[in-house]
């Protein structure tokens, strides 16, 4: 909706460009080593814990932080799909995402 106003295009055209862009981004990131999400080894965990503890001395043995994001999505015609995506807290149909961030700014894990 907002992108349509910004670029002065109708929603159909905007949606077409977003879909094309998403396909290209996924294709690029699928084979790019910097986009790989992996769990750290023991040495990395120690260094992450030290980074966190140097910033917050009372926090011990923490290697990252978890944050979530709920994105509103269009309602589905399918009743079962609608029920799976409905969020009672927001009273809307949502896509929930959870990310694990390491203190270096890297995303360590994601549930999308």
pLDDT greater than 90 at residue 36: no
Residue bearing the bigger pLDDT, 37 or 99: 99
For the segment 59-67, the average pLDDT, to the nearest whole number, is 88
pTM: 0.53
2: confidence class by pLDDT, cuts 50, 70, 90: confident
> Residues 109, 102: contact at Cβ < 8 Å?
no
């Amino acid at each position: 909706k907002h992108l349509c106003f910004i670029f002065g295009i109708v929603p159909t055209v905007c949606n077409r460009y977003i879909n094309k862009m998403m396909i290209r981004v996924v294709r690029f990131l699928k084979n790019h080593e910097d986009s790989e999400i992996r769990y750290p080894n023991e040495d990395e965990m120690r260094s992450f814990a030290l980074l966190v503890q140097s910033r917050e001395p009372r926090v011990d043995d923490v290697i990252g932080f978890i944050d979530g994001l709920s994105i509103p999505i269009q309602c589905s015609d399918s009743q079962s799909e609608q029920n799976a995506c409905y969020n009672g807290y927001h009273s809307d149909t949502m896509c929930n995402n959870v990310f694990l961030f390491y203190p270096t700014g890297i995303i360590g894990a994601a549930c999308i």
